[in-house]
Amino acid sequence: MRVIVAAAGTGGHINPGIAIANKIKQEEPNSEIIFVGTSRGLEKDLVPRAGYELKTIEAYGLSKKISIENIKKLYKTFKGYREAKKIVKEFKPDIVIGTGGYICGATIMAASKNNIPTLLHESNAFPGKAVIMLAKKTSCILVSFEDAKNRIKNAKKIVHTGTPTKIKKIDYTDTEKANIKTKLNLSLHMPIILVFGGSQGAQAINESIIEIAKKGLNKNYQIMWATGPEQYEIIKKEFEKNKLDIKNITNMAIVPYIYNMEEVMNISDIIVARSGAMTITEISKLGKPSILVPLPNVSNDHQLYNAKVLEKVGAAKIILNKNLNAEKLNLEIQNIVNYPQLINKMGKNAEKIAVSNVENKIYDEIKKLVK
Q: Are residues 266 and 362 in the same domain?
A: no
In a domain, 17, yes or no: yes
Q: Are residues 265 and 196 in the same domain?
A: yes
CATH of the domain at 324: 3.40.50.2000
In a domain, 323, yes or no: yes
In a domain, 169, yes or no: no
Q: Are residues 188 and 152 in the same domain?
A: no
CA distance 358 to 364: 10
Ramachandran assignment for 171, one of left (phi > 0), alpha (psi -120 to 50 degrees), beta (any other): beta
CA distance 365 to 119: 9
- Report whether pLDDT(321) > 70: yes
> Domain of 36?
2-162+356-369
- Report whether pLDDT(75) > 60: no
Task: Using pLDDT thresholds of 50, 70 and 90, give the confidence band for residue 240.
Answer: very high
By C-alpha distance, which of 37, 27, 26 is closest to 4?
Answer: 37
Q: Are residues 202 and 299 in the same domain?
A: yes
Whether the Cβ atoms of residue 106 and residue 78 lie closer than 8 Å to each other: no
In a domain, 331, yes or no: yes
Task: Calculate helix-pair angle for 277-286, 302-312, nearest 10 degrees.
Answer: 20
Q: What is the pLDDT of residues 20-39, one digit of tens each?
A: 999 999 999 999 999 999 88
- Report whether pLDDT(71) > 70: no
Q: Are residues 234 and 109 in the same domain?
A: no
Q: Are residues 72 and 139 in the same domain?
A: yes
Q: What is the pLDDT of residues 145-156, one digit of tens each?
A: 999 999 999 899
Q: Are residues 272 and 334 in the same domain?
A: yes
Report, as an integer, the average pLDDT of 211-221: 97
CA distance 273 to 293: 6
CA distance 254 to 166: 24
Q: What is the pLDDT of residues 176-191, one digit of tens each?
A: 999 999 999 999 999 9
In a domain, 151, yes or no: yes
Task: Using pLDDT thresholds of 50, 70 and 90, give the confidence band for residue 62.
Answer: very low
By C-alpha distance, which of 218, 358, 346, 370 is closest to 288?
Answer: 346
Ramachandran assignment for 325, one of left (phi > 0), alpha (psi -120 to 50 degrees), beta (any other): beta
The structure's pTM equals 0.89
Report, as an integer, the average pLDDT of 316-328: 97
Q: Are residues 135 and 189 in the same domain?
A: no
Whether the Cβ atoms of residue 293 and residue 321 lie closer than 8 Å to each other: yes
- Alpha helix positions (H), 287-357: 302-312, 326-337, 340-351
CA distance 250 to 292: 24
Q: Of 70 and 67, which is predicted with more confidence?
A: 67
Q: Are residues 178 and 300 in the same domain?
A: yes
Q: Are residues 347 and 360 in the same domain?
A: no
In a domain, 244, yes or no: yes
In degrees, to the nearest 5, what angle opens at C-alpha 151 toward C-alphas 147 and 66?
A: 135
- Report whether pLDDT(207) > 60: yes
Beta bridge partners of 226: 255
Q: Are residues 33 and 102 in the same domain?
A: yes
In a domain, 13, yes or no: yes
CA distance 251 to 107: 50
* Low-confidence winner among 32-36, 58-62, 249-253 (lowest mean pLDDT): 58-62
Number of domains in the chain: 2
In a domain, 55, yes or no: yes
DSSP symbol at 294: P
Q: Of 195 and 80, which is predicted with more confidence?
A: 195
Confidence at residue 290, expressed as pLDDT on a 0 to 100 scale: 98
Q: Are residues 182 and 86 in the same domain?
A: no
Q: What percent of the chain has pLDDT over 90?
A: 81
One-letter amino acid of 278: M
Confidence at residue 72, expressed as pLDDT on a 0 to 100 scale: 59
- Report whether pLDDT(101) > 90: no
